[in-house]
Chains A and B, each alone.
Chain A
Amino acid sequence: MAHAHNHGHDFHHEHGSELSEMQLRTRAIETILLEKGYIEQAAIDELIETYEKKIGPRNGAQVVAKAWVDPKFRKWLLEDGTAAIGSLGFGGRSGNHLVALENTPLLHNMVVCTLCSCYPWAVLGLPPLWYKSAPYRSRAVADPRGVLKDFGIELPKDTEIRVWDSTAELRYMVVPMRPAGTEGWSEEKLADLVTRDSMIGTGFPKSPKDLK
């Protein structure tokens, strides 16, 4: 199957020959499953379209922005993530059981799935490659500060870091702290500050000066 070359940082990029091998294999399975009537072409296309274009971190950004401006929503979100997020129309696959984790000046949350790639699709879309790869999965639980350093982040030594390994069907999203200098901003404008990584716990939201 795959070569056992040591490509170092390139390990997840395939050779030309592997690329065409995978193309052939996926095409073969797709052809057979279609011919046997096990799948429908339009359903396949719809699945791809949904996760490429429709569901993504913008959903989670809206949740966070609302929590920043609306204290009642924030409270609800932290008590019952599934229901609060569901009220905004987000939920379903990999989002049936959502838990929101609040970052504070003393506490930083980070989410990982060491065993595979569990991720809150309903609010963040499909996970990025780094989240699913061995360096993050192996190190987040052992050396979260080292991982944050890879993201260019250093937290004060006395900040508690809570790492959450998503071993069950609960899906976690981090509610980062609201950036300073955003008083009176609309939810929509605030959502522009909320990065995907800040909702995983490997980044911070943008600050006002980052937006133009």
Chain B
Amino acid sequence: MNGGHDIGGMDGFGPVQPEPNEPVFHSQWEKRAFALTLAAGVAGGWNIDMSRFARENRPPNEYLTMSYYQIWFAALEAMLKERALVSDDEIAAGQTLKAPKPVSCILKADDVARVLYHGDPTERETKTKPAFKAGDRVRAKMMNPVTHTRLPRYVRGHLGTIDRVIGCHVFPDSNAAGAGENPQWLYTVRFDGGELWGADADPSVTVSVDAWEPYLLPA
């Protein structure tokens, strides 16, 4: 979706401001919000692409003024409500009002280290062949799905070069929509700064994205 998150190249946000000796979490609630998101994901059964879409799917004016973990938490509440695991009145009351839905699995403390260490690999076996090879010129499609995609607006329609064929990976556009993993060939595509930003752009700069085959056309 063309949401408030897709901000590559947007102006007006001011300088980057690193915080010296920044703590991992800025408050207690941030710690809880972080851990709850990871743990509830196991119970809720959603995938990371659905999580990302839930975060992007804030009104842009809210997204751009919410803090990082406020966005995470708002997305968590939305996903829990969507799946009828928690209701608005329960959130308002701060306690359970109706019986829990059965879930297939929850994250236990003993599993944490193993689950984190295993992570969530997205590469999948395939019998198909990649359409492109390193060095090929490609054009990022002009596409504007209202659902989740990982093709940022600033590259759409632009000409780039295949830097590398990465492998066959879960396709987030399908996975986020609950339409299955639908793995697709994934490439690193590199764009000249001038192609993206115009004739006045810094000639020493190139930008790459990792793009799945459905995002690309031969140039």
Contact = CB atoms under 8 A, between A and B. Distances in A.
A145 interface: yes
Contacts of B190: 162
Tell me the dominant secondary structure on chain B's binding face.
Answer: mixed
A28 interface: yes
Interface in A91-122: 91-97, 114-117, 122
Interface string B78-102: 0010000110001111111000100
A35 B96 CA distance: 7
Most buried by B among A1, A33, A48, A170: A33
Given A91-B119, A132-B68, A158-B204, A167 B24 contact: no
Interface residues of B, number: 99
A93 B116 contact: yes
B205 A144 contact: yes
Contact of A35 (B35, B67, B95): B95
Contacts of B86: 29, 32-33, 36
B184 to A, nearest CB: 10
Interface stretch (A18-26, A58-66, A68-76, A182-190): A18-26
Contacts of B25: 48, 52
A168 B171 CA distance: 9
A125 interface: yes
Contacts of A37: 100, 106
A138 B6 CA distance: 8
Most buried by A among B92, B107, B204: B204
Contacts of B128: none
Interface in A150-207: 150-151, 157-170, 197, 202
A46 B120 contact: no
B219 interface: no
A139 B10 CA distance: 7
A129 B15 CA distance: 13
Interface string A45-62: 111101110011000000
Interface of A: 1-4, 8-9, 11-12, 14, 19, 22-33, 35-40, 42-48, 50-52, 55-56, 91-97, 114-117, 122, 125-126, 128-130, 132-139, 141-145, 147, 150-151, 157-170, 197, 202
28 contacts: A2-B70, A4-B61, A22-B29, A28-B90, A32-B86, A32-B90, A32-B96, A38-B103, A39-B107, A43-B109, A45-B109, A46-B109, A46-B112, A47-B34, A48-B32, A55-B116, A91-B119, A128-B19, A130-B17, A133-B13, A142-B9, A142-B196, A151-B16, A160-B204, A164-B207, A168-B186, A168-B212, A170-B166
Given A31-B96, A150-B18, A168-B210, 19 more contacts: A22-B29, A23-B28, A28-B94, A33-B36, A38-B100, A39-B106, A56-B24, A93-B117, A116-B52, A126-B34, A129-B22, A137-B8, A142-B9, A151-B18, A162-B190, A164-B188, A165-B209, A167-B209, A168-B172
Interface of B: 5-11, 13-19, 22, 24-29, 31-36, 38-40, 43-44, 52, 55-56, 61-62, 64-70, 73-74, 76-77, 80, 85-86, 90-96, 100, 103, 106-109, 111-113, 115-123, 150-152, 154, 166, 169-170, 172, 186, 188, 190, 196-197, 202, 204-212
